[in-house]
Structure 1
């Protein structure tokens, strides 16, 4: 059994979490020994990667694992968008009860990103990611929220392999947010699963993975929502210290990505992780 690495998820940076708070959290994670960082071109309406890149500079690149994603393009950054995000963070700080209203506005058409498998757009997205992160290569480049029914997957796979041969990415993969088993079956049928890494939320399906998929490499995320649901059913996996070895037993899980912006939350997560290692 291999205990998954503890990863830092950056989806909230430049959204509900400000640049300053995000940078401070990243620095705490680095000081605590976290070396796996998960981001995406679309996070923070296109601004999270730059914050991540600035925080990671000065650290030995070969000791870091940087995962980013393409396939979802953020809306164009404008002064109005920046103002809207700042106002939303202030509202949530002083009136947490407004979270539902803020989420409703953020999910409106004016703030929604664009999904694409078009290679020219993906290449532009990756070029921007490399520049924002300040790196010459990406450890794992994932197709963001991959959907089996969307055309163009073979072209994306060929492009991924070209990038891998060129050394621009070390590995490629797919972020699967829907039906996990259906996604794995489709990727296998397309000949794309053997060399890929698959990122998924923690679920009972992942923990009960059929033997035929045990060789697939996974990155898991969103453990705390899963553990809250476990508490409602009196199931045993209600702590990170229990979940990490369970993932190591159930599948080939390389990392568990958590959102850890509070100092106490980070400390507790790192302690649980180190207790299993």
Structure 2
């Protein structure tokens, strides 16, 4: 119990800066136990939180936390809030409305902190008397969906954010993958990740994004022009934009990406805002 109290105290102090650090290490000088946020691959995380285990989920953005039990899941963890009180707290984190939106979370179990991602939509079966109609999914690095068997990029982004490694990931990926992250962030209404992807015109872009319900790029239409400049890449792609008024537009977009000479990150030029 002392470990958990100590852990939550430090989490409350440091959560605001978690996305900007490479690895968050919390150490109690009176107890040699080290609390380091670990990004464990699914095959290892699967052993740390076996079925029927009870652990704490901490929402990175708000610092709110609740207890859950893992009930099932082979490719990721299927979990349920432990009690009615935990269900209420989870719904508070989602602003009172269940949602498929992914959120960066920390898993606190025994003396470990694991980076993970969850969505907030009850589905399927549920066995606990907790007021939660089903279960929800918790993903770890390398875990996949049960249906497709593929890694979910939106969960991956949240896992990296929880582990303080999202900036490193964005510095390493190539321009086409940057656009995939942009598409994912727009559809998740993940303004923080969108902000990290752009070089300019952020305010204008966010105004446009408020009116977009869903954004889809046709992967087969991608054409790359390197501009004979190692710091500029132009990508043409066909896209479909679904607006909040339920209108739909098909667009041929010409997107410019600029490479940051210091970090190596490819950033999207803000001129894309005029095409949305």
TM-score by length of 1: 0.31
Whose Rg is larger? 2
> Greater relative contact order: 1 or 2 (C-alpha under 8 angstroms, separation 6 or more)?
1
Specify which structure has the higher proportion of helix.
1
* Structure-2-length-normalised TM-score: 0.31
